[in-house]
Amino acid sequence: MIKVAPSLLSADFSHLRRDVERVEEAGADYLHLDVMDGHFVPNITFGPPLIAALRPHSRLLFDVHLMIEAPERYIKDFVNAGADLITVHVEACRHLHRTLTVIKENGCRAGVALNPATPPQAVEYVLNLVDLVLVMSVNPGFGGQSFIPAVLPKISLLRSWIEERGLAVEIAVDGGVNRQTASLAVKAGATVLVAGTAVFAAPDPRVVIQEFKSI
């Protein structure tokens, strides 16, 4: 069954609680929280206080996508804020194995993200440590960009490694996910669809979420 993770980046920032409740009622599985620091990516969003403020109002799995340099400095803050899954970028971690271990030791699920130009081999030796691999299908930093189809073979290769090793690792695809690209990503082996614009700009998010879940 495909899981859907609406990205809060495309919500109405003056009505965040309302929008979170809306996607939860519409059948979302995760709430995808894009944290950006203005260094790793050219944009700044929000941090632990906002996540902590939303936490009491939702039972969704809080999926925190850290687009920040040296994320190991902030793992505890995001755990305390209520993250259930913390995903770090392979490009932002000097000691990826250690950072993923720290996330797990803090009782959180661990994810690792790959930019479009990063080869899948970059996560080959940590696949046994993670719960999720996040394949970026846009260059991170902004919502509303177009899906880069060149990442599809990367999803397929990761899926084959996961199957060969008998691991229970989700593959999420993030960026430019809409009706067409969602099908391509699922065919390639993705099991989690992150979507901002497609969900929050839709007249009825429920229709989109249910469509994605039934692919």
- For residue 176 the two structure tokens come to 């430019």
Q: Which residues are catalytic?
A: 34, 174
Task: State which H helix or E strand residue 33 sits in.
Answer: strand 30-36
Q: Output the smallest distance, CB 165 to ligand 5SP, in A.
A: 27
- For residue 159 the two structure tokens come to 């899926």
Provide φ and ψ at 23, rounded to 5°. Answer: -75, -30
Q: Which stretch binds Fe ion (CB under 5 A): 72-80, 89-97, 121-129, 171-179?
A: 171-179
CB 147 within 8 A of CB 135: no
For Fe ion, which residue of 11, 20, 22, 34 counts as binding (CB under 5 A)?
Answer: 34
Q: Does 141 appear as a known binding residue? A: yes
DSSP, residue by residue, 139-166: -TT-SSPPP-GGGHHHHHHHHHHHHHTT
For ligand 5SP, which residue of 3, 22, 32, 154 counts as binding (CB under 6 A)?
Answer: 32
Q: Does 32 appear as a known binding residue? A: yes
For Fe ion, which residue of 65, 74, 108, 205 counts as binding (CB under 5 A)?
Answer: 65
Our CA angle for 103, 28, 3, nearest 5°, is: 65
- Choose the contact partner of 195 out of Fe ion, ligand 5SP, none; CB within 5 to 8 A by kind: ligand 5SP
Nearest CB to Fe ion, comparing residues 34 and 170: 34
* Residue list for the binding site for a divalent metal cation: 32, 34, 65, 174
